[in-house]
C-alpha cells in the first residue's frame, strides 16, 4: 500500500529522529490490515515545537501524533485535555484531534512497561519498586505502577526537585503509597527500572550500583538504543529477569492503536511484522 493522496498521517514528533522505530512497527501493521495510514517521522526542535502543533493539526489528513523526546512534557501545555495518567506523568506521548478540532493528550509509556512485566509473570500488586529517572517516561512508569497496585515506590532523579515533584503528584492520587525520594540503592526492591537516559551513549555510567541488585529482582530498561544495554547485561549476569526497552515499545502500541481508533494488534503480531533490523 503506497502513499497516495488518500493516505492519513500519524506524525512521529521528536528530535533527533535517527533512532525512531515506530514507523517500522506501525506501518507494516497498517499495510497488513490494508489501513491507509502512515507513521511519518517529523524532526522538530524544542524552540519550534509549540508553533508546530496547531499547524500540524490543521492538516486535513492528520490522524494524530506520536510524541517522543524532548517534547513529552511540553505537549501538556499544548493540548486541551489529558488522561489522569498523563496528568500524573506530567507528560504526553500521544495526541489525538477530536471531531470538534480540540486536542486530547495521553501517555502510554507506563502502560507499555507494566503490561510487559505482567506478561513476563511479574506480580505488581504489593510489590516494592524503584524507578531511576523522574522525567516523562519515568513519571509515566511510576504512575502506571501505582495504578497497578505496587505498595512502595522509590524515586531518584539527577534533578532532585523533579523527583520530589513526581512524588507529590503520586501521593496526591495514591495517599496509601509508600514513597521514598532520592534513593538509588536497588537492594530491597522486587523491581528496579532505569527510566533515565543513561545507556544512550557508550560512555554513560550505569544508572545504579548493579552489585546491590538482588538476584531475582526484576530489572527493566527504557533505553532502546540496543536491546540489551550494559545495565541489562549486568543484571542478567546476576541472574535477574529483565525487560528491554523495545518490549515496552511493543507492549504500548495496542494502547496507542486503540487511542487512534485504528485496528489493534497483539505485541507479538506487531513484532513479527516489524521491519526493524538492528
- Interface residues toward a second copy, by CB under 8 A: 2-7, 9, 12, 15-21, 23-24, 27-28, 38-45, 48, 51-52, 54-56, 58-61, 275
- The least CB distance from residue 137 to a second copy, in Å, is 18
1 vs 198: CA distance, rounded Å? 38
- The least CB distance from residue 12 to a second copy, in Å, is 8
Pick between residue 53 and residue 150 the one whose CB is nearest to a second copy: 53
* Half-sphere CA count of 235, side-chain side, radius 13 A: 26
Pick between residue 15 and residue 259 the one whose CB is nearest to a second copy: 15
- The least CB distance from residue 276 to a second copy, in Å, is 9
Pick between residue 19 and residue 233 the one whose CB is nearest to a second copy: 19
Q: What is the maximum span of the chain, computed from C-alpha positions, in angstroms?
A: 56
Residue 130: what are its φ and ψ, rounded to 5°?
Answer: -120, 130
DSSP 228: S
- The least CB distance from residue 274 to a second copy, in Å, is 10
Q: Is the omega angle on the peptide bond into residue 70 within 30 degrees of 0, that is, cis?
A: yes
The C-alpha cell at 165 is 515533584
- The least CB distance from residue 71 to a second copy, in Å, is 13
Pick between residue 42 and residue 177 the one whose CB is nearest to a second copy: 42
- The least CB distance from residue 27 to a second copy, in Å, is 6
Q: Where are the beta strands (DSSP E) in the chain?
A: 8-14, 37-43, 62-67, 81-82, 94-97, 103-106, 128-132, 152-156, 178-181, 191-194, 218-221, 242-243
Pick between residue 57 and residue 218 the one whose CB is nearest to a second copy: 57
Contact 184, 138 (CB under 8 A): no
Residue ranges of alpha helices (H) inside 76-184 are 84-89, 109-119, 136-147, 160-173
Pick between residue 168 and residue 275 the one whose CB is nearest to a second copy: 275
Amino acid at each position: 500500500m503506497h502513499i497516495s493522496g488518500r493516505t492519513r498521517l500519524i506524525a512521529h514528533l521528536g528530535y533527533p529522529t535517527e533512532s525512531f522505530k515506530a514507523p517500522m512497527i506501525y506501518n507494516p501493521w497498517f499495510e497488513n490490515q490494508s489501513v491507509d495510514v502512515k507513521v511519518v517521522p517529523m524532526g522538530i526542535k524544542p524552540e519550534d515545537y509549540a508553533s508546530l502543533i496547531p499547524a500540524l493539526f490543521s492538516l486535513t489528513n492528520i490522524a494524530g501524533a506520536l510524541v517522543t523526546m524532548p517534547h513529552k512534557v511540553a505537549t501538556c501545555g499544548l493540548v486541551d485535555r489529558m488522561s489522569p495518567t498523563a496528568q500524573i506523568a506530567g507528560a504526553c506521548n500521544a495526541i489525538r484531534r477530536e471531531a470538534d478540532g480540540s486536542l486530547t493528550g495521553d501517555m502510554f509509556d507506563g502502560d507499555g512497561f507494566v503490561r510487559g512485566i505482567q506478561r513476563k509473570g511479574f506480580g505488581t500488586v504489593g510489590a516494592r519498586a524503584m524507578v531511576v529517572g523522574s522525567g516523562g517516561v519515568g513519571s509515566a512508569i511510576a504512575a502506571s505502577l501505582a495504578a497497578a497496585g505496587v505498595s512502595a515506590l522509590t524515586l531518584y532523579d539527577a534533578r532532585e526537585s523533579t523527583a520530589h515533584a513526581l512524588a507529590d503528584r503520586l501521593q496526591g492520587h495514591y495517599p496509601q503509597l509508600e514513597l521514598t525520594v532520592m534513593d538509588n540503592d536497588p537492594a530491597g526492591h522486587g523491581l528496579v527500572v532505569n527510566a533515565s537516559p543513561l545507556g544512550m551513549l557508550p560512555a554513560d555510567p550505569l544508572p545504579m550500583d548493579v552489585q546491590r541488585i538482588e538476584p531475582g529482582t526484576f530489572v527493566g530498561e527504557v533505553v532502546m538504543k540496543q536491546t540489551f544495554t550494559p545495565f541489562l547485561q549486568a543484571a542478567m549476569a546476576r541472574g535477574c529477569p529483565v525487560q528491554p526497552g523495545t518490549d515496552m515499545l511493543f507492549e504500548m502500541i495496542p494502547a496507542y492503536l486503540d487511542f487512534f481508533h485504528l485496528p489493534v494488534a497483539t505485541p507479538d503480531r506487531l513484532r513479527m511484522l516489524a521491519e526493524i533490523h538492528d
